[in-house]
Amino acid sequence: MSVIQKIQEKYAKLMAIIIAVALIIFVVMLAFENGGSLFQGSNSTSVGKVNGKSIEYNDFLKKIEQQENYMQQQGYGASGPMLQQQANEAAWNQEINQVLQNAEFDRLGIKAGKKEVGDILYGANPPEDLKRQFTDSLGVYNAQMAKQQIDQVLKKKSGTPEELAAREQLIAYIAYLENSRLTEKYNSLLANSANVPKWLIEKENTDKSQIAKLTVVRESYAAAIDSTIKITDKEVEEYVSKNKDDFKQQESRSIAYVAFSALPSAGDSAATRERLLSLKAEMDSTKDIKRFLALQGVQNYYDSYINGGMVQIAAKDSIFKSPVGTVYGPYLDGGSYSLAKLIGVRSQADTVKVRHILVATSRQDPQTGQSYPVRDTAEAKKLIDSIQLAINSGSKFDSLVKLSDDDPEGENPQRGKYKGGIYDKVTAGQMVSSFNDFIFGNPVGAKGVVKTEFGYHYIEILSAKGGSAAYKVAYVSKPIEVSSETDNRAEEEANQFATASRDAKSFDANAEKLKLKGINKNVATDIAPMAYQIPGVGASRTFIKNIYKADRGDVLDPERVGDNYVVAIVTEVNKEGTMPVGKARFSAESILKNKKAAEKLKQKLGTPATLEQAAAALGNKPIETIDSLRMTGQQTANSAMSLSSEPKVIGAAFNAANKGKVVVVEGANGIYAVRVDEISATALADANVAEQRKQRYQQAKQQATYRSPIQAMRNAATIKDRRSEFF
């Protein structure tokens, strides 16, 4: 047996083990390089990472929901997908900031103990929302009551979903307050570390005192750039490589798309009008307009009078001229056809001032918008009758409103309890119909009890201003809806186009043919992974996610977005990092052209001994005298102001070695031949160094207080965003 064969037999098993271990190590390394897990694979529940700290989907989803609730409570105008997207972005930014800040707090030992959190909630300066909720009729914050209720909610670890949700929101709210206190401490630490050294003030004062006189010949780069100056892709690439920070880009994609309209056709519009027309006779003859409206699905009939000037309907003049009891229409109102029946006309004040006390039978939950009962009708009626009797017997209205008013607006310092239950400058239509009928249908001084869906109101009319015709009108509207035939036609056209356009060449060729039908190809650029809508296309997370699933050059299947079926082709795939040449060229090209123009002009100039030689070399350019040029600060002379954007020229002017010489300076906007004629100094009126240091210190401290360092933290952090895979 040969020696080689013996070695093979002896070490075969060992080599097999070594190869197997190497393969395992390779697989593990590959898994971790791709940000995955050896055991979870693509089933990771992390929506992102901040400096290696994972943000889990379930935790993040709760924060989005809390953010949505908060935004709704604050009256944000957004709703639906827009609100969800804004809440998602807000929650994501808060999460990043919190992770980064907490790391800084831990590193510096910044904490807020249990006693300090108690002081935040129940101390001398409680949060405004707690203060509003737990302030008594005398305006004093009841910290004990606040603590009792907060402790009660926090102890409730089981209960209804609403109760558990309230507990989670309260925990999140307290955590927010605690984090705000830590942020205050951190910002205070930064503010108090501000320093302005004496030598810096003295140096700045010396620079400010410097003044120079010089003579200049100049030529702008713009005048020197011609068709011979061209920039290659390689030059752009080299420039971008040297200046990567100036050419950073976020991940994005661009598309070209064709939209096939699925809006209602003329036939759909005519069909809707006919539906309304078939109801006109019944609406005209009915004796029970409320029942008729209810049968037609109208839920918002306002059974009271509104001044004509307050009505915002284009056809109102024609409606108001109709005889009382007749129906006008069908008329087009936006995307609907409507019928309007004039129920009545009367003259009433334009605005009234009233005061009232509400004894509520129900309240609305600000979190959910749902109403819940607080007392039965009989009890409420008994209470309002006792209030009316007390007032008639001489009791003060102001005292009773503080004790008995259930109006949610009573917590508003601008009205309600804080203003004696007064509502001023009330216009018709602002209040519910029965309330409106009383305050606009009775004279000043009238008092009485009115029942609404909120409970019983004791009302007194204090004053009224103006007067005009008011109208009670009943409306029935039907939206112009797209028919299945119209929708199917648009979808079929989109499918045919997509089938025939499977690459960029056929996509463009077929899109060109559609121009004859008035359908144009459009583009949408810089679509972010977490965008919720595309300008010109509409809102659709599904559509954007499909764009990110595709590769460059892929044609997507038709997607219904808003009122269109959209067929798109992915034209750009931009990864996070440095811009590619094509995208960077837009901003880099002008800079590079200026550099080439500068070289061209420098060759023309050579090394001139006199300004006359420089002027001749540049085509007999004028020789300018620049008087009273300052090294720093605002230029006072008009001639000096022309050089305020040329720091290199100013630097050359105050270089003592250049005095009496002609030097060529490559500036930001052009080439300059400069002769320094004189350098001197002037006295400064405000050269009190101690006082300047004091002022600058206060400024620096104030700036540090209001200038958050969070952006610097984010720039230095490693942030991985995987939200687009989940939302």
For residue 482, what are its two tokens?
Answer: 């797209």
Give the separation between CA 360 and CA 210, rounded to whole angstroms. 76
The confidence score (pLDDT) of residue 666 equals 95
The DSSP element (H or E) to which 680 belongs, if any, is strand 670-681
Amino acid at 551: D
- Mapping DSSP to helix (H, G, I), strand (E, B) and coil, where does residue 145 land? helix
Amino acid at 82: M
For residue 113, the tally of other CB atoms under 10 A from its CB is 9
For residue 385, what are its two tokens?
Answer: 């009758």
| Cβ-based neighbours of 618, under 8 Å, separated by 6 or more | 217, 219, 601, 604, 605, 671, 673
- Mapping DSSP to helix (H, G, I), strand (E, B) and coil, where does residue 311 land? coil
Laid out side by side, the sheet with 624-630 consists of: 624-630, 210-220, 670-681, 662-666
The confidence score (pLDDT) of residue 366 equals 62
- Got the DSSP string for 265-309? -HHHHHHHHHHHHHHHHHHHH-S-HHHHHHHTT------S-EEGG
The confidence score (pLDDT) of residue 13 equals 54
Contact 488, 397 (CB under 8 A): no
Strand partners of residue 218:
672
The DSSP output letter for 514 is: H
Q: 10-residue block means of pLDDT along the chain (727 residues)?
A: 46 52 51 44 80 94 87 75 88 92 92 89 87 77 88 86 84 88 88 89 90 94 91 95 93 96 94 95 95 93 95 93 95 94 96 94 72 87 93 90 78 53 92 95 95 94 95 96 95 97 96 94 95 92 95 96 96 93 92 94 93 94 92 82 90 93 94 94 82 90 80 91 91
The confidence score (pLDDT) of residue 34 equals 46
Task: Please choose, from the candidates 109, 71, 107, 108, the residue with its C-alpha nearest in 3D space to the C-alpha of residue 88.
Answer: 71
pTM beyond 0.75, yes or no: no
